[in-house]
Structure 1
């Protein structure tokens, strides 16, 4: 659970007065300026993209979807989706 900060501890008085014109005594959430997408911070997105390119290349080299599913521990439906997605790009 995130802890709340008192506005007086982090914001200039002039800004507090301006905010009070719109919100008085209520909790106000101020989001980050830019939120990272899923997997960007941990590198998972890049890792999956590399894996999907590898799957597509192996498929193009003649490895069947069933074999790829076994190799990557994915369902054939997921392999099919990856192949079609990579082919479209």
Structure 2
């Protein structure tokens, strides 16, 4: 994230109002709520985890045990249980 000097982008009246509340301080301006992305949307990590979880569910349905799946995917037994018994998402 790059810092921008407020006096180069804000109208003078707005800048004075901000300075009344934060004189000389740093302020973070968040993105609008509708511009937020969920974890893994940019990197593709979200899709990879969903695909892995679907594969785990299929293997469990086909007869693999929770312990076998935990070892195969390097996840805890509790994590595998959450995947196979939890809601699909």
Does TM, normalized by the shorter one, top 0.5? yes
TM-score range, shorter chain: 0.7 to 0.9
| Greater RCO, CA 8 A, separation 6+ | 1
- Structure 2 unaligned segments of length 5 or more: list them: none
Tell me the number of residue pairs that the alignment of Structure 1 and Structure 2 aligns.
87
SS for the counterpart of 1:30 is coil
What TM-score do you get using the length of structure 2 for normalisation?
0.73
Identify unmatched segments of 5+ residues in structure 1. none
How far apart in 1 are the matches of 2:22 and 2:68?
59
Helix, strand or coil at the partner of 2:30: coil
TM-score under structure 1 length normalisation: 0.73
Contact kept, 8 Å, 1:52 with 1:86, in 2: the verdict is no
